[in-house]
């Protein structure tokens, strides 16, 4: 087992590499959204959004939680890896065939033959993805975060360039599908290049039962969570058509996707770290609380600023024909704020081995979300977004009670960690509201208004964080970790001779 100092160093370096990769990934994703949305129509995005829920469902079964099982396992040998690889390939082949078989059903359900064509073609993307899953899991297990980050950066840039070129050439929904396929191809090639392990023909499945059971429980959660995160697209597409779901999907990607791009790679670092210190309660709590304070401080103020400027921001980024997405974007921004801390409760469940409880919670929360979608659709896509926000908000107390049970983390902390960022948001809202009332504000460009909102929100959050002992300790620790990333000759505040 790795020594504490070694784990700390790997975690620190991992966070740095991950942060750099995510900056690139979020920027390229936003650039792809902005550039391609100006070439393609809401209807083109609507076709892709129609297929996305089924693809997500099939890919939930494709992995079966093996990635997290490999990371969390105390012991793993080459035989286990070989068995899991071939099991993943077999499942991927079946998943791809299922997509092809369901293509006519999808086209008939939506009354749009284009959705059927893309569904069949997506089977190829799923098949390619299956070849990278075990290599990705092994890189995570060994905390080789730099290699994973390099992969993310290369894939993000390649996907942006190739998708933009495809949109310019094809000018149709096929450009979105092609971008997804090329993303899978480049990512798989990078994973195999980064990790030298190669599978051999034939596999013994003895000894992997425990990993499969662990992964099955996690898949149960992912499955019910999938419905909560994707059924909204299906309901809107069926009730309102391709244009409406296209507006909703771009709003979702513009707001919630960047948040997911922060949480997912952070999970990549936190899960192996928390799994290794799970027998040390004080250390476990300290690591989790520091990560959560950092996440809340980095992400929540920016989201609050985007919500304040939603009416101007959406047409500014995507173009005037997307202006109808502004109210959807506003409600999804509020949802992103609510989800920021809850998204990390998965770390508690998985690192402590409580995936069964995680599955039970997922069943309950997904039911609430699905009910909210059916209620909200009576008011269109914006109604679905609003109902989703309310559903997420009312379940928070139960989630914090259930997720922290049996862990060193307290429910109280889950609430308190968000207060500084919320205070910063209120401060920024007051500033922006006052500026908007000024006569000269009518000529203020969107960039200026957004810059003001972001600056005020982060300034207020940092000031509020500094008013509490825990906040001051956390910021000091974040600065210390940042300093540790610098070469030794820079750490004392002056350049040391070589």
Q: Which residues contact 298 (CB under 8 A, 6 or more apart)?
A: 262
Instruction: Give the H/E segment covering residue 254.
Output: helix 242-276
Phi, psi of 198 (to 5 degrees): -125, 135
CA distances from 372 to 98, 326, 334, 376 (A): 29, 20, 15, 6
User: What one-character DSSP code corresponds to residue 497?
Assistant: P
Phi, psi of 6 (to 5 degrees): -65, -40
The residue behind tokens 């975690």 is 11
Low-confidence ranges of the chain (pLDDT < 50): 1-2, 489-490, 493-498
- In whole angstroms, give the CA distance from residue 263 to residue 270: 10
Phi, psi of 241 (to 5 degrees): 100, 180
Whole-angstrom distance between the N-terminal and C-terminal Cα of the chain?
35
86, 199 in Cβ contact below 8 A? yes
Q: 259 is written with which tokens?
A: 């948040």
61, 219 in Cβ contact below 8 A? yes
Q: 277 is written with which tokens?
A: 């210190």
- In whole angstroms, give the CA distance from residue 296 to residue 308: 18
Geometric angle at alpha carbon 333, from 244 and 12, rounded to 5°? 130
- In whole angstroms, give the CA distance from residue 87 to residue 105: 28
- In whole angstroms, give the CA distance from residue 13 to residue 146: 8
Q: How many CB atoms lie within 10 A of CB 415?
A: 13
Q: 188 is written with which tokens?
A: 């798989």
- In whole angstroms, give the CA distance from residue 317 to residue 305: 15
- In whole angstroms, give the CA distance from residue 265 to residue 19: 8
4, 12 in Cβ contact below 8 A? no
287, 274 in Cβ contact below 8 A? yes
Q: 340 is written with which tokens?
A: 């920021």
Q: Which pLDDT score is estimated for 247? A: 87
Report the interhelical angle of 396-404 vs 380-394 (nearest 10°). Answer: 40
Q: How many CB atoms lie within 10 A of CB 231?
A: 18
Phi, psi of 341 (to 5 degrees): -75, -45
Q: Which pLDDT score is estimated for 246? A: 84
- In whole angstroms, give the CA distance from residue 89 to residue 132: 10
Q: Which pLDDT score is estimated for 393? A: 92
Geometric angle at alpha carbon 83, from 81 and 84, rounded to 5°? 65
Q: Which residues contact 198 (CB under 8 A, 6 or more apart)?
A: none
Q: 79 is written with which tokens?
A: 């035989």
The pairs formed by 472-476 with CB atoms below 8 angstroms and a separation of 24 or more are: 474/289, 474/290, 474/293, 474/294, 475/297
The tally of CA atoms less than 13 A away on the side-chain side of residue 49 is: 30
The residue behind tokens 């070439």 is 39
Distance of CA 110 to the CA centre of its chain: 27
Q: 263 is written with which tokens?
A: 């949480």
357, 276 in Cβ contact below 8 A? no
- In whole angstroms, give the CA distance from residue 289 to residue 353: 19
23, 262 in Cβ contact below 8 A? no
Q: Which pLDDT score is estimated for 495? A: 42
- In whole angstroms, give the CA distance from residue 341 to residue 345: 7
The residue behind tokens 């396992």 is 73
Q: Which pLDDT score is estimated for 102? A: 93
């Amino acid at each position: 087992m790795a020594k504490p100092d070694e784990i700390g160093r790997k975690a620190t370096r991992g966070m740095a590499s991950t942060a750099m990769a995510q900056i690139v990934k979020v920027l390229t994703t936003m650039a792809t959204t902005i550039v391609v949305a100006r070439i393609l129509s809401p209807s083109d995005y609507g076709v892709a959004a129609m297929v996305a829920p089924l693809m997500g469902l099939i890919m939930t079964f494709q992995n079966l939680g093996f990635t997290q099982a490999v990371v969390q396992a105390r012991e793993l040998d080459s035989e286990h890896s070989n068995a899991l690889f071939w099991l993943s390939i077999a499942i991927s082949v079946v998943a791809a065939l299922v997509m092809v078989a369901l293509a006519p059903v999808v086209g008939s359900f939506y009354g749009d033959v284009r959705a059927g064509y893309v569904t069949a073609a997506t089977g190829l993307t799923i098949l390619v993805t299956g070849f990278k899953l075990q290599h990705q899991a092994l890189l995570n297990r060994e905390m080789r975060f730099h290699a994973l980050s390099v992969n993310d950066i290369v894939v993000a840039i390649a996907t942006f360039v190739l998708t933009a070129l495809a949109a310019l050439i094809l000018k149709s929904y096929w450009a979105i599908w092609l971008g997804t396929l090329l993303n899978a191809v480049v990512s798989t090639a990078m994973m195999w290049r980064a990790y030298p392990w190669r599978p051999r023909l034939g596999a013994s499945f003895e000894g992997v039962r425990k990993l499969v059971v662990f992964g099955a429980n996690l898949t149960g959660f992912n499955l019910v969570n999938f419905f909560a995160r994707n059924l909204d697209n299906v309901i809107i597409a069926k009730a309102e058509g391709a244009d409406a779901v296209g507006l909703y999907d771009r709003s979702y990607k513009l707001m919630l996707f960047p948040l997911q791009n922060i949480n997912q790679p952070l999970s990549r670092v936190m899960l192996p770290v928390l799994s290794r210190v799970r027998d040390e309660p004080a250390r476990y709590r300290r690591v989790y609380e520091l990560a959560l304070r950092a996440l809340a401080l980095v992400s929540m103020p920016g989201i609050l600023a985007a919500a304040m400027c939603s009416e101007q921001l959406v047409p500014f980024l995507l173009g005037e024909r997307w202006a109808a997405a502004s109210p959807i974007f506003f409600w999804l921004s509020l949802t992103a704020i609510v989800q920021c801390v809850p998204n990390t409760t998965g770390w508690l469940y998985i690192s402590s081995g409580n995936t069964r409880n995680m599955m039970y919670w997922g069943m309950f929360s997904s039911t609430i979300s699905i009910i909210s979608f059916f209620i909200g659709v009576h008011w269109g896509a914006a109604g679905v977004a609003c109902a989703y926000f309310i559903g997420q908000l009312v379940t928070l107390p139960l989630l914090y009670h259930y997720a922290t049970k049996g862990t060193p983390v307290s429910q109280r902390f889950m609430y308190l960690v968000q207060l500084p960022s919320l205070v910063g948001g209120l401060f920024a809202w007051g500033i922006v509201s006052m500026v908007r009332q000024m006569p000269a504000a009518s000529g203020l460009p969107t960039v200026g208004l957004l810059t003001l909102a972001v600056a005020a929100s982060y300034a207020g959050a940092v000031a509020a964080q500094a008013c509490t002992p825990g906040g001051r300790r956390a910021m000091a620790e974040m600065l210390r970790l940042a300093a540790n990333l610098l070469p030794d000759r820079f750490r004392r505040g002056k350049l040391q001779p070589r």
